[in-house]
Structure 1
Amino acid sequence: MATAHDQAVLQAIFNPNTPFGDMPDLYQEEDLTDDDSAFDPSLVSQVKQLELQGVSAAEAGDVKTALLCFDQAVKLLPERPSAYNNRAQTRRLQGDTAGAILDLERAIALSGGAGRTACQALVQRGLLFRLGNQAEEARKDFTRAAELGSKFAQQQAVMLNPYAALCNRMLSEVICKLRNPDVSEME
């Protein structure tokens, strides 16, 4: 029986252009945390509650309420990166890519490029860069997030590596020919 990793490798070989998100346990990030010890614990508690409300509102499709919750969280603790990261997602849902990138950059800067929020912000910004056809910027963000432990980011960085894509395509063709030796090259 194939492991989840084996299945992911086969998926990448036979379908090199498909997303890697169909293997849920494969992309568990390391147990990253953010250090909130510099903040007043009661404020952190309030901000976390606002963020939970914002996430719930966004999941329910109430983007306006979600944005208000994240704005309040940012106002309460403007030096804590998590609310910026969450607000970026909400802005993206509204179609405000530029605003989302600004929030992600702020989250990355405030986190010092370390911890859970930095990892998530780098992945999100990488995805936005990728959607904007900025492959090199996306690859850099995915590489940094992979260094923080994101398996998803690691796979994205590999996919954006032109040599890896070429190798995957060539290997896929070889395996396809081995599986179907009777199919002519002209087809």
Structure 2
Amino acid sequence: MASFFRISLPKMTTSHDRAVLNQILNPLMPTSDSGVAEVHLEADKVDHPGYVLSSQLEKEAVLLAENMQVAEAIEKFAQAIQVCPQNPSAFNNRAQAYRLQNSPERALDDLNEALRLAGPKTKTACQAYVQRASIYRLQGDDANARADFASAAELGSSFAKMQLVALNPYAAMCNKMLAEVFEKVKTGKDE
């Protein structure tokens, strides 16, 4: 993960002040069209009689995955999808389990389906873009990774914003130089 400068500003600063400073320190990170507005993601809207049961099965699958029972979690996610094939979150979460199982192609299939089903400004879409971009990055496909990280960044993912900077060698160099300058100012060293 890329590291960024985090400057502690006095509480009396406004969100606009913080956004301006952030843009100065991280000029290559994407910003929303409005400049400083935060993105408010919508919940998935699924109109299907099996959605409630699907969500419950999905929660059980997440618990299994957290306990490293990945194969069982995948089976439970499959049940959730069978009960409600329009549930994008179940596809997104099963993709994560496939990633844990080192099955990136299956994960990509599920992420593509999650993105097809999810609304454009939903939490699931944001998470699916980040996951898909991470897989692309591991596969060496930086162009597709950059595109998906940009989509997730526009939806408010700070991780995606950091990854965009990490994918940009000029931004990484600029951040390193700024870090050195701030360290010199902080320690009083002048060259």
CA, structure 1 residues 45+112, in 2 after alignment: closer, same or farther (shift >3 Å)? closer
Higher normalized helix content (fraction of residues)? 1
Q: Which residues in structure 2 correspond to 1:16-165 (within 5 Å)? A: 30-36=40-46, 38-40=47-49, 43-165=50-172
The match for 1:2 is 8
RMSD between aligned alpha carbons? Answer: 2.8
Q: What SS does the corresponding residue of 1:34 show, helix, strand or coil?
A: coil
List alignment gaps of at least 5 residues for structure 1. Answer: 14-27
1:29 Cα shift?
7.5
CA, structure 1 residues 31+114, in 2 after alignment: closer, same or farther (shift >3 Å)? closer
**2-structure distance, mates of 1:116, 1:110:** 12
1:131 Cα shift?
2.0
CA contact (8 A) 1:29 1:150 kept: no
Q: What SS does the corresponding residue of 2:148 show, helix, strand or coil?
A: helix
Higher relative contact order (CA 8 A, sep 6+): 2
**2-structure distance, mates of 1:160, 1:32:** 28
CA, structure 1 residues 129+180, in 2 after alignment: closer, same or farther (shift >3 Å)? farther
- How many residues align? The count is 162
Amino acid at match of 1:101: L
**2-structure distance, mates of 1:154, 1:30:** 16
CA contact (8 A) 1:119 1:150 kept: yes
**1-structure distance, mates of 2:55, 2:119:** 20
List alignment gaps of at least 5 residues for structure 2. Answer: 1-6, 10-14, 26-37
Amino acid at match of 1:73: A
Amino acid at match of 1:93: L
**2-structure distance, mates of 1:139, 1:92:** 19
Encode CA deviations 1:121-167: one digit per residue, 9 max, x unaligned.
Answer: 00111111222222221111111011112222222222222321121
After TM superposition, the score normalised by the length of structure 1 is 0.74
CA, structure 1 residues 35+169, in 2 after alignment: closer, same or farther (shift >3 Å)? same
Amino acid at match of 1:53: E
1:105 Cα shift?
1.0
Encode CA deviations 1:27-86: one digit per residue, 9 max, x unaligned.
Answer: x984531112x222xx11100000000000000111121011100111111122111101
Runs of 4+ displaced beyond 6 Å:
none
Q: Percent identity?
A: 42
**2-structure distance, mates of 1:57, 1:45:** 19
